[in-house]
Structure 1
Amino acid sequence: MTTIHPHARQLAGEVASGALSRREFLTRATALGLTASSAYALLGLMATPARAQERQDGGTLRIQQDVRALKDPRSYDWPQMSNVTRGWLEYLVKYERDGALTPMLLESWDISDDATGYTLNVRPGVTWSDGTPFTAEDVAFNLTRWCDSTVEGNSMAARFSSLIDEATGQAREGAITVDDDTTVTLALSFPDVTLIATFSDYTAAIVPQDFDGDPLNAKGTGAYMPVEYEVGIRAAIEKRPDHQWWGEEVYGPATLERIEFIDFGTDPASWFAAADSGEVDMVYETVGEFIDLFDTLDWTRSESVTSGTVVIRVNQTVEPYGDVRVRRALQLATDNDTLLELGNSGRGQVAANHHVAPIHPDYADIGPSEYDAEQAMALLEEAGQTDHAFELISLDDDWRKNTCDAMAAMLRDAGMTVNRTVVPGSTFWTNWTTYPFSATDWGHRPLGIQLLSLAYKSGVPWNETGFDNAEFDSLLEQAQGIGDADGRAEVMGQLETILRDEGVITQPYWRSTYRHFAANVVGAEQHPAFEIHPYELGFVVS
């Protein structure tokens, strides 16, 4: 019998009254340990079937996607890396397209009312590809790795501060306990309701205890194995020879024999050409004007409403961006509605320069961003920077380039001197955290507090703004410990206000994202976090 967390029934009532969307309810209720089927039952709906639609056995599916250099998964910085390794390195929790968090290598979890105690129940019967059992020891090993803040680039450590000893930078003694082969308990030093959502993030791939740092050498629990990997060219995975996969009973069989990820560069025109000539069966993402162009093919279009976005930011450690007046001037001289229209063809929702989206359960509405070019120039004059030549750097692609072009034009219209620098992806992503003034895209996360912790907490690996604010950090920790998202929204409002008042980012819109795939392909629908699940893919039964 499923235990229903005290907040879950209240949340279901809020859906009934119209105060909460179904997506928000599913994310919040399942994060508390409610199963997806029980969550649907509370809403009076039928649970979404877990098994995939019928697919023919066999075949090779070709996907257009960047093939980036791999590294330790806890240091992944793009979903494309995980989409390949997801074939064999699986996850404790799966984030569904509708917002639900469902068990994967975990069978279930329970969270104490005060969110300081977690019980993780490991799914029985799972084996590694070499036939050895997957146990609670493997889960504890990965949790301990994630907590190691001494490892450069380990973004997971920033998300597990409730388990970490600040003095050592490692998991705190007694924080992670293996009770038996299928049970791990966590004792947090302060309340934190974000852990289950974090288990589903693309950086949380589960590796074996003999992991040597190279995912291509690692055994896994998934249905596939790597057979080819050439950075910038192609990657391929094939079904394991033994075809023994624990997930068949839960998700149905993994039907494809081979999946190829083919890198056609950053120009969407090359993606369309590959699709039009039959070189690929699906694309990672369809962008800008190419969405309409792909619609001319006999392909399926899939859309996802997301908290994915573009952030145009300055690095506060580089002058003149340490001056809040300069940062605020850049915000005030920019109209976010215009950036949405010109940068992303109007596909999405206008944002308000604080990186928490209306679809996040912990969103606080602090009103729209302000557009006042005259005030912007007054601030710039007060800062003594009216003669400064701003250099705005972006990737050479479609929507990110277009958005920066539009912002540069608006800054010039306000009276600023702006130079545009457009660089290829291989150059841009090598230096993305160090540019003084540039644009970065951030992917979807289930909770707003996750994004704020990843991007703006002092000293974390992905803090590309150089933002360092003790009040903000303190409020972040406070917000993490509030189990009720409505209560957390009040603190989130304070966090959002600090970000905007400090001029940390110009964050103009929330993206609706799209993916096209051939009419005979199934299981390829666009995921809000760009996840591709190999075991769901296949071809329709002919």
Structure 2
Amino acid sequence: MEGGTLTVGLATDTAIIDPSITGSSITAVITRNLVDSLVGQAEDNSFVPWLAERWEINSDNSVYTFHLKQGVTFSDGTPLDAAAVKYNFDRILDPKTTSSYAKSLLGPIDKIEAVDTGTVVIHYKKSFAPLLQGLSLPYLGIQSPTYLQKATSTTNTVVGSGPYILESFVKGSGSKLTRRADYNWGPGYAKHAGPAHFNGIDFKYLPESSVRLGALASGQVQAIDEVPPANYRSVQGDEKLQVVTRENPGVNNSYFLNTSKEPFQDTKVRQAFQSAVNGAAAVKAAYLGTLKPADNILGPSTLYYDSGVASKWGFDLAKANELLDEAGWTKKDADGFRTKDGRRLTVHYVYDSASVGASNVTLAQAVQYQVRQAGFEFQLDPVDAGGYTARANSNDYDLVSFFYVRAEPDILRTVFHSAYVPPNGSDYVRVTSLDEKLSKAIGASDAERKQLYGEIQSEIVGQAYAVPLFVAAYQLGASKKLHGISWATNAKPLFYDAWLEP
């Protein structure tokens, strides 16, 4: 039960391992083992002690007081105290750090006080209800200030207080983690206390699905993510293997349409594109029934998900053609694509080829064929991570795709508030119309939050700011000898309690 190395094959890569400066899901999977959080969130969504043994919140959610466990240290031997927590959050709030996602999770902070070595007080300018949920995520995990102050770059190193220590991270290859022998401050939801069971964890980047699957079947790795859709049932039927699926809460995998320039500046063109996409058929073609098509911008397991949005939109080719006619795209060129004023109706789908898996490319090719029936030329523009960032920051794209995992609907602020237009975050849609409601919702009562988020979901889909595609899910293929995997509320596997039978 104790010892050994767990080897995990990952389908996608991350360019950055510092969880404070990325929203990458892969970074979250790896660094959950390296950094601890102030609070934990159990699978039943309750909040439990972790680095903070207890906390108080004032009546209007504007002052949070955290009392830290004593004796916690970072892996470099320095103490994890109130000053360290304050340093981490101040760093995230500093514009020079470019912590767009982590910063959005912290919300509109007024000031942070380290009252004494064991007490941190966070003051807000106005009510901020979602803080505990954000604090439970690895993006707000606490890192060693001593390390952070010395590091010239944190893109490939992390020093935290977690059950494992990062031995190495190499972009395009993977990460090696080693057990911390003196770890003794796990989250309240953990099944055991003390050090982790494995001596180490190796995360290997294996982008080819056949290679990943072969490594699992042969025992070279004990777990993989993104079980290939074509092999899903055969893995499930293998007596030595298992597939565990966890649907993601948060923003569904969607196409986000750039409203700031033509052609998607025109609402009718956006609605036409949305109507020309047969999401259910495209998702079935790409994922062979292993993932659910999305019927809303939020996944069903997200707080305040509105099931009524599904009836307000959907595939309708006749409607798409009618809307494009109304928008003035009435002519067609020799290739059958619509034109207007001598310009072809071309939209560029820009994506990072390392973080968008093969099945997503298959899905995009299905959509490419679908929207062509309405006269859209849908161009796939694969780029590397640097190229993707450059295209986003210079507003050189028509649509992008991604998903964000969070059980709290405040995730919509991260994706649709104009404060987070690239390079400041993930508002690739570049809208301002939702700002007031998104800001109001973070401090409202439960009833008002439900109403506001319902209105926001309706506008996002109704105005075709996005085309929801599928409910992303973490699909863990694993040896049946692997036990003790638990799940975070962001649908990520947790390895602290995990062990292998001989």
What is the TM-score normalised by the length of structure 2?
0.85
The structure-2 alpha-carbon separation of the partners of 1:430 and 1:277, relative to structure 1 and needing over 3 Å to count, comes to: farther
The partner residue of 2:80 within 134, 142, 146 is 134
- Partners of 2:225 and 2:474 within 8 A in 1: no
Structure 2 residue 9 is the aligned partner of structure 1 residue 64:
yes
- Partners of 2:92 and 2:98 within 8 A in 1: no
Look up the match of 1:445. 406
Look up the match of 1:478. 440
Look up the match of 1:208. 144
For residue 266 of structure 2, what is the amino acid of its counterpart?
D
- Partners of 2:242 and 2:477 within 8 A in 1: yes
Look up the match of 2:97. 151
CA distances 1:498-523 after superposition (whole Å, capped 9, x unpaired): 21232111013323432111121123
- Partners of 2:68 and 2:118 within 8 A in 1: yes
For residue 315 of structure 2, what is the amino acid of its counterpart?
Y
Structure 2 residue 377 is the aligned partner of structure 1 residue 418:
yes
CA distances 1:199-223 after superposition (whole Å, capped 9, x unpaired): 1223212112221342765542122
Look up the match of 2:294. 351
Deviating more after overlay: 245-254 vs 231-240: 245-254
For residue 204 of structure 1, what is the amino acid of its counterpart?
L
- Partners of 1:115 and 1:483 within 8 A in 2: no
The partner residue of 1:328 within 271, 285, 292 is 271
Aligned mates of 1:403, 1:428 — CA distance in 2: 22
Look up the match of 1:90. 36
The partner residue of 2:361 within 384, 387, 401 is 401
Look up the match of 2:342. none
Look up the match of 1:372. 316
Structure 2 residue 26 is the aligned partner of structure 1 residue 80:
yes
The structure-2 alpha-carbon separation of the partners of 1:209 and 1:397, relative to structure 1 and needing over 3 Å to count, comes to: closer
Aligned mates of 1:443, 1:96 — CA distance in 2: 19
Q: Which runs of 5+ in 2 are unaligned?
A: 330-337, 340-344
Aligned mates of 1:307, 1:344 — CA distance in 2: 19
Aligned mates of 1:248, 1:72 — CA distance in 2: 21
- Any residues of structure 2 matched to 1:7-406 within 5 Å, and which? 56-65=1-10, 66-70=12-16, 72-163=18-109, 172=110, 175-210=111-146, 211=148, 212=151, 213-214=153-154, 218-240=158-180, 243-247=181-185, 251-252=192-193, 253-265=195-207, 267-297=208-238, 298-307=240-249, 309-353=252-296, 355-368=297-310, 369-385=313-329, 386-387=338-339, 388-393=345-350, 395=353, 397-406=357-366
Q: CA deviation at 1:230?
A: 2.2
The structure-2 alpha-carbon separation of the partners of 1:158 and 1:528, relative to structure 1 and needing over 3 Å to count, comes to: closer
Aligned mates of 1:336, 1:254 — CA distance in 2: 42
Look up the match of 1:8. none
Q: CA deviation at 1:346?
A: 3.1
For residue 461 of structure 2, what is the amino acid of its counterpart?
R
- Partners of 2:347 and 2:399 within 8 A in 1: no
- Partners of 1:307 and 1:445 within 8 A in 2: yes
- Partners of 1:365 and 1:493 within 8 A in 2: no
The structure-2 alpha-carbon separation of the partners of 1:429 and 1:293, relative to structure 1 and needing over 3 Å to count, comes to: farther
Aligned mates of 1:392, 1:104 — CA distance in 2: 42
Q: CA deviation at 1:526?
A: 5.7
The partner residue of 1:490 within 451, 458, 472 is 451
Q: Matched residue of 1:503: which SS?
A: coil
Q: CA deviation at 1:283?
A: 0.7
The structure-2 alpha-carbon separation of the partners of 1:517 and 1:428, relative to structure 1 and needing over 3 Å to count, comes to: farther
The structure-2 alpha-carbon separation of the partners of 1:153 and 1:145, relative to structure 1 and needing over 3 Å to count, comes to: closer
Aligned mates of 2:129, 2:100 — CA distance in 1: 21
What is the TM-score normalised by the length of structure 1?
0.79
Aligned mates of 2:470, 2:430 — CA distance in 1: 21
Q: CA deviation at 1:94?
A: 2.7
For residue 162 of structure 2, what is the amino acid of its counterpart?
G
- Partners of 2:100 and 2:425 within 8 A in 1: no
Aligned mates of 1:130, 1:202 — CA distance in 2: 19
Q: Matched residue of 2:97: which SS?
A: coil
Percentage identity across paired residues of the two chains: 19
- Partners of 2:36 and 2:138 within 8 A in 1: no
Q: CA deviation at 1:372?
A: 2.5
- Partners of 2:18 and 2:27 within 8 A in 1: no
RMSD: 2.7
Look up the match of 2:335. none
